[in-house]
């Protein structure tokens, strides 16, 4: 149990998929202008990753080694399609807000890596736990980035006015350049706070 707890905090901070490993940057930059978008993106990605991991861990022996990546992606695309149809039916506003990034969950590197790593050699239970831990870290990162960008860019948090009348919101943080900047600074901050990180694993050092 101690191990599980350590893995949970590790997934949130030391091995955070976005803020340390630099995975899933597209949603982390594009859908973090408001906390609400960030929350839904994180939640839907989590649902897709967990569901597809369950299926992959069941059928993995039937998928030939050569077609592994493509086979996994087909399963993930199935769940992304289910998610978009459900959203279109019950929450069309969220579907519109996520736009092109909803179908693109399918090619989120984090989801594929999760499917590859977690579901491959383990049982169903373990792959659920592992994919849950990874997505908690992803959701956490998106919420942090979203909070900072919404506070600085619009002066609100989840739509409630916070700094109104005290600080003029700086709209640049809602745009693409602001997103790159905030994610870069937050990454440096996480690294400063957790000095034990190895720096070899992020895409910047490939």
Question: Binding residues for another protein, per CB under 8 A?
Answer: 22-26, 29-30, 69-70, 73-74, 77-78, 80-81, 84-85, 100, 103-104, 106-109, 112, 175-181, 183-185, 187-189, 191-192, 199, 202-206
List C-alpha distances in Å: 67 to 60, 62, 64, 82, 146: 11, 10, 6, 23, 37
Cβ within 8 Å of residue 71, ≥6 positions away? 63, 64
User: Phi and psi for 125 in degrees, rounded to 5?
Assistant: -60, -45
Nearer to another protein, 29 or 128 (CB): 29
Q: In the beta sheet, which residues pair with residue 161?
A: 156
Cβ at position 89, least distance to another protein in Å = 11
Cβ-contact 27, 141 below 8 angstroms: no
Residue 169 C-beta: closest distance to another protein, Å: 18
**16 vs 57, which CB is nearer to another protein?**
16
Please report how close the Cβ of residue 21 comes to another protein at its closest, in angstroms. Answer: 9
62: tokens are 């039937």
Nearer to another protein, 165 or 204 (CB): 204
Nearer to another protein, 126 or 191 (CB): 191
Residue with tokens 């910047």: 204
User: Considering the complex, what minimum distance in angstroms separates the CB of residue 41 from another protein?
Assistant: 12
What is the C-alpha separation between 186 and 123, in angstroms, rounded? Answer: 35
Q: How far is the CB of 125 from another protein (least distance, A)?
A: 27
Provide, rounded to whole angstroms, the least separation between the CB of residue 2 and another protein: 29
The number of CA neighbours under 13 Å toward the Cβ of 158 is 4
Which lies closer to another protein via its Cβ, residue 58 or residue 202? 202
Output 112 or 119, the one with its CB closest to another protein. 112
Q: Of 140, 125, 110, 104, which Cα lies nearest the Cα of 9?
A: 140
CA distance 201 to 191: 13
């Amino acid at each position: 149990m101690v191990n599980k707890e350590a893995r949970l905090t590790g997934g949130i901070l030391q091995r955070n998929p976005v803020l340390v490993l630099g995975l899933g940057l597209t949603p982390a930059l594009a859908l973090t202008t408001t906390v609400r978008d960030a929350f839904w993106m994180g939640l839907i990605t989590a649902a897709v990753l967990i569901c597809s991991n369950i299926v992959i861990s069941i059928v993995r022996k039937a998928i030939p080694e050569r077609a592994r990546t493509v086979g996994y992606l087909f399963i993930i695309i199935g769940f992304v399609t289910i998610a978009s149809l459900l959203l279109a039916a019950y929450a069309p506003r969220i579907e519109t807000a996520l736009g092109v990034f909803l179908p693109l969950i399918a090619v989120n590197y984090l989801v594929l890596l999760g499917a590859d790593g977690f579901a491959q050699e383990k049982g169903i239970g373990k792959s659920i736990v592992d994919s849950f831990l990874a997505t908690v870290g992803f959701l956490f990162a998106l919420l942090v980035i979203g909070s900072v960008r919404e506070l600085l860019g619009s002066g609100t948090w989840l739509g409630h006015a916070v700094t109104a009348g005290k600080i003029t919101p700086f709209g640049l943080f809602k745009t693409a350049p602001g997103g790159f900047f905030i994610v870069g600074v937050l990454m440096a901050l996480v690294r400063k706070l957790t000095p034990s990180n190895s720096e070899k694993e992020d895409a910047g050092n490939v």
